[in-house]
Chain A
Amino acid sequence: MSDQQETELLRFTTAGSVDDGKSTLIGRLLYDSKSIFEDQLEAVRLSSSKKGLEHVELALLTDGLRDEREQGITIDVAYRYFATPKRKFIIADTPGHIQYTRNMVTGASTANLALILVDARHGVIEQTCRHSIIASLLQIPHLVLCVNKMDLVDYSEEAYNQVVKKFRSFASKLDIKDLRFIPISALHGDNVVSKSEKMPWYEGPSLLYTLETIHIGSDQNFIDCRFPVQTVIRPHSSDYPDYRAYAGRVAGGIFKPGDEVMVLPSGFQSKIQSIDTYNGPITEAFPPMSVAIRLEDDIDVSRGDMIVRINNKPEPTQDIDFMMCWLHHHPPRSRAKYLVRHTTNEVRAIIKEVQYKMDISTLHRNTDDKIISMNDIARVRMRTTHPLLVDSYRKNRNTGSIILIDEVTNETVAAGMII
């Protein structure tokens, strides 16, 4: 096996507007890690000169759709990939403007880390707050604030400290587990890949080193055992006449053969007979592994059920409070029923009450205006037709998240983080 295979995967999200240097930074990370190919660069060069630009517009690498290229803006989430010998990276690059909150939320939903850029000259602005609040709401475990354009403030420690101080004070209101600051100049490469000589006062690591080494091993929940069943594997073949296993992806905790488990919602108890994979049975299964679990007893288990430990169960409930991000241009219809998808389970539900709308630039709770429209984030209460087996999103992102689907249009209309 080659060295490159012994690497971990880090998913991070970026958000930003045209001017904060985000494209320059991503371009630099991709370029310096040799992830941009010559034909891609040539194509971007050609497009840039066609547009009459003097510089090579690296944003054209990520803005792939015709409309984005014509308008010069990122509309959708663009995924970019690069690798260093230490790690593989997936960037979910999202537009930063308030009208694209839903895209930021989408990009943030799978991220281990949020990279937020601040212009050293302007400091913490509304957009910085918005991105941080989204990172906090979506429980991204790590947040790195890059104070960019240090070259334009003479690499001043004082300018940097001011931004850090202001952001720390703002962030104290948020739920951020791991917060770091790095002074950089994306344009000149200071503290991006290697440490800058122009800022000897900064003692921390470069951005790339941070991305390569930040500890992501504890980002999953390894305590509370949750195994949502996706499907049942029954070969009915002469080699495996009575084989029956429950396929799924571990959503929390560590499962082992011999564990006493309970299947919900039925409440039947059994023991794990084996945890199977194509490469043979394994001794432990943890998130985010995809495995197949066999139980010692022949009990009725199907898609949407959840295998858990007997003494650690999620809460079955029909009344669910959650933070909702509305994703669709049609506002929610009054008294309408929506399909709720939670892990592998699906039930119908009705939005009973909007408790408040949240201003995602200031955290202000608005209890006067409760009209929901696209990109709004609100605390709501919903009633489901059948109990869901939920954890709080804070405790487990896999079993604490839901989406709402409009039964008429089949569109995904909302995302929810269970409180």
Chain B
Amino acid sequence: MKYSLKHLEELEAEAIYVLREVYAQFENPVILFSGGKDSITITHLAKKAFFPARIPFALLHVDTGHNFPETIEFRDQLVESLGVRLIVGSVQQSIDEGRVLEEQGLNASRNMLQTTTLLDAIEEHQIDCAIGGGRRDEEKARAKERFFSHRDEFGQWDPKNQRPELWNLFNGKKNMGEHFRVFPISNWTEMDVWQYITDQEIQIPSIYFAHERKVVKRQNSWLPFSDFLQIRPGEEVLIKTVRFRTLGDITITGGIESDATTLEQVVAEVAAARETERGNRADDKRSETAMEDRKKEGYF
């Protein structure tokens, strides 16, 4: 039993192997950086994969303009400390340039608009591989994702026609104008990510921990109050102690009531949770196959 790895060590070794394959197989890869725990974990793994050299990838942040202020602050500090390049794709700019139309109505969100901004950034910067923090346990369409996932020249995913992926032999071959999405932590669960963050003492934005915040109850979750949120008749802005299990656009990321202020408490809470982390994401609730439909168009 001496020569065996613990499960997190094995998952880490797999992710590092994948990141090194990306570096070897692509010309201009970036890490899709949302400021969320999964992309922070990816960035940490990239640091380990190429140490003592710098991370050989830029970070690409698709900025909806509807951010948790804490996220932007965190992002800028991390970029500074790692000495990596930051590329920002701005959804606001896509709107201003008439590339996309802002959704209207009470359920309006910029979530769908990110796809255009992302694909524009990929084209503009000639990115041939975008590394994402997607995990197969997150969502049923993501359970079908490959580590190396091909996107055609329109950035589209064709889930029925994916390349078979055997052993750890990854095929990143493509034509000009096409690109790949690569998911090094495909095999991690939410629990694995939290345990890894705890184990490695990885810094994460403060909104993952319990804090007092102005919130509005909507569809069974606590949406953070912000300038971008349209309050509906009958809704009341309250102050609650909440934290967030995922981090997305501030208009669609619901919080949960929690007293967990340390990583250990967060892990304990995740272990006891009876709902998935995306259970509070309004973007997934639009239809049964909402994620698959968005992914086909080129979403994260």
Contact = CB atoms under 8 A, between A and B. Distances in A.
B52 to A, nearest CB: 5
Nearest to A107: B166
A105 interface: yes
Which size class do A's interface residues fall under?
35 or more
A341 B292 contact: no
Contacts of B49: 247, 290
B275 to A, nearest CB: 5
B232 interface: no
A291 to B, nearest CB: 9
Nearest to B9: A289
A410 B171 contact: yes
A398 interface: yes
B17 A327 contact: no
B6 A76 contact: no
B276 interface: yes
Nearest to B171: A412
Nearest to B48: A278
Contacts of B143: 62, 64, 78-80
Interface in A231-256: 231, 233-237, 239-240, 243, 247-249, 254
A39 B279 contact: yes
Contacts of B163: 411-412
Interface in B15-66: 16-17, 20-21, 23-24, 47-54
Contacts of A79: 136, 143, 186-187
A43 B285 CA distance: 10
A290 B16 contact: yes
Given A39-B275, A249-B168, A278 B51 contact: yes
B259 interface: no
A415 B164 contact: yes
B292 A288 contact: no
B137 A81 contact: yes
B174 A410 contact: yes
B53 A233 contact: yes
B7 A403 contact: no
Contacts of B50: 233, 247
Interface string A287-304: 011101000000000010
Interface in A190-220: 216-217, 220
A406 to B, nearest CB: 9
A376 to B, nearest CB: 14
A327 to B, nearest CB: 5
Interface stretch (A2-10, A128-136, A175-183): A2-10
A411 B172 CA distance: 10
B165 interface: yes
Contact of B52 (A38, A47, A243): A243
